[in-house]
Amino acid sequence: MPTVRVTRRVHFNAAHRLHNPALGDDENRRIYGLCNSPNWHGHNYDLDITVEGEPDPRTGYLVDLGEVRDAAGEVLKEVDHRNLNLDVPWLEGVIPSTENLVVALWRQLAPRIPRGRLARLVLYETPRNWAEYEGD
């Protein structure tokens, strides 16, 4: 059987602040600019979830994308309309950059994929800025 990839896009909104407590305020402002606002800022995130594997000969599906959506929903309910710095236990102590967030989302989502294997996540912070991750 051929190996194929299928992708489901999901959406969530969240606030965050990029700030490293080990650095001074001036250095944090220099590094993170507007993203260091002490009053937070938010994004409308899109997440592409790509699963890889062999299609089931009986159904023709690699995985039911509705099940991928539902698995993502279990994870995203923990970040949607939340403050990533304050409200998400599995992000505690993590600077919630797009790069760190996509890795953390992978760790939460990979065990929930019902069939095939999680092959790639693409997290869009804006239409012009995104991070990709394909696992360790």
List the catalytic residues.
35, 81, 125
Residue type, 49: I
Cα dihedral 4→99→109→77 (10° resolution) = -130
Q: What is the Cα gyration radius of the chain?
A: 17
HSE on the CB side for 65, CA within 13 Å?
A: 10
Residues 14 and 83 sit within 8 Å (Cβ to Cβ): yes
